Amino acid sequence: MLKLAIILPTLNERANLAPLVERLAAALDGPLGANGWEAIFVDDNSKDGTAEEGRRLSQADHRIRVIQRIGRRGLASAAIEGMLATAAPYVAVMDADHQHDPALLPQMLTALQSGEADVCVASRFAPGASMEEWGRPDREKQSELANSLARKLTGVTLTDPMSGYFMMPADTMRGVAPNLSGIGFKILLDILSTVPEPLRVKEFPLSFAARASGESKLDQAIAFEFLVGLYDKTLGRVIPTRFALFGTIGALGVVVHLAVLWALFRGAGLPFLYGQIGAVIAALTFNFILNNELTYADKRLHGLRPLIVGWCKFALTCSIGAFANVGVAEALVTRGVHWVLAAVAGIVIGSVWNYALSSRFVWGRF
């Protein structure tokens, strides 16, 4: 009988899959039986053929399944999709890069089945844990800082709330799933800060290993996405997170516009019209790059041609938003509304318009 599903988000990790399946079998076949577990690889359309390798393994082992995602990415959302795709009563999430030891899985399952805990977490900082094999003291300090910040802002008291290796009942996951943000990388923190009632958590010391092969799913935006996740759990219901990011970057773009205009008009002595044109192009490019890297990181455009096409689409959508801005403000002023309020209304309408069009036209699909 199926008891446990292991969810493994992947990105360009073809070489890791076969050895990991062997390690899972060695750890679980004895305690759970040959049919007591399954592994679900949730692949973000890897270019190295990770999904194809998963399907090849599935031909020989029915316990292996693959979900290949097109047009979306992100570790948290991948973990959510995988956990909702199984009939197993218990679900575990772990990395496919061999940094997480599968030998902990039977112990974690026993603690859940006995009612000792509601969630089991493999901790890098619990007594008895080790990160010596990882060999990244710089990243270790970053993890400690992130964990400390997460505990203070969310009230979670674990030694490692940022852990990517945990297990819980599938029913608990299905109950909380509609309220999860699915943003960023730390799905455990998302779950623990979303559940209506605190969960009893048991931590297991983890010997955190070095990465076997493939590329890390933590890119240059990880610190930013961590803060975004915290924002989403606190203020995201008031102002949608992605729109807040879009608006914040737009405000920074105004600063860039004024700085470039001053440099070209006052500094270089160019005519105001030329300075204004240069400032518009600079601010537009600044906004496009930051939105592509941060606001729409899960739909990020890659490659020279997609970036150029995306920039052109972004310029077009923003020009339409500018017309909406001016039109609304002018209409309000002619109706006796104070010019400041009219200008603010125009900015809000233009921003919402730009956000809606960009989300669909530049980073989305018709």
DSSP-assigned states of every residue in 319-362: HHHHHHHHHHHHHHHHTT--HHHHHHHHHHHHHHHHHHHIIIII
pLDDT value, residue 144: 59
Count CB neighbours of 211 within 10 A: 16
Q: Would you say the C-alpha torsion 83, 86, 92, 93 has a positive or negative sign?
A: negative
pLDDT reported for residue 149: 62
Nearby residues of 16 by Cβ (< 8 Å), 6 or more positions away: 10, 96, 97, 98, 212, 213, 214
What amino acid is encoded at 288 in this protein?
F
Residue 19 is predicted with a pLDDT of 95
Alpha-carbon distance of 346 to 51, in angstroms, equals 47
At residue 220, the pLDDT reads 47
pLDDT for 66: 97
Backbone region of residue 180 per phi and psi (left: phi > 0; alpha: psi in -120 to 50; beta: other values): beta
pLDDT given for residue 335 in this prediction: 87
**Rounded to whole angstroms, how far apart are CA atoms 105 and 102?**
6
- Under a CB-based contact definition with an 8 Å cutoff, are residues 190 and 76 in contact? yes
Do 106 and 32 meet the contact criterion of CB atoms below 8 Å apart? yes
Q: Which helix (H) or strand (E) holds 75?
A: helix 75-83
Helix (H) or strand (E) holding 84: none
Decide if 42 contacts 60 (C-beta within 8 A): no
Predicted local confidence at residue 226, as pLDDT: 61
Contacts of 21 (CB under 8 A, 6+ apart): 39, 57, 61, 64
Residues 6 or more apart in contact with residue 111 via CB below 8 angstroms = 117, 120, 202
CB atoms near residue 234 (< 10 Å): 12
Q: What is the mean pLDDT of each run of 10 residues along the chain (366 residues)?
A: 95 94 96 94 92 96 95 83 96 92 95 95 81 54 59 64 89 91 72 85 82 49 61 69 84 87 87 84 91 81 90 90 78 82 78 85 72
What pLDDT does 18 receive?
A: 96
What integer pLDDT is reported at residue 143 of this predicted model?
Answer: 57
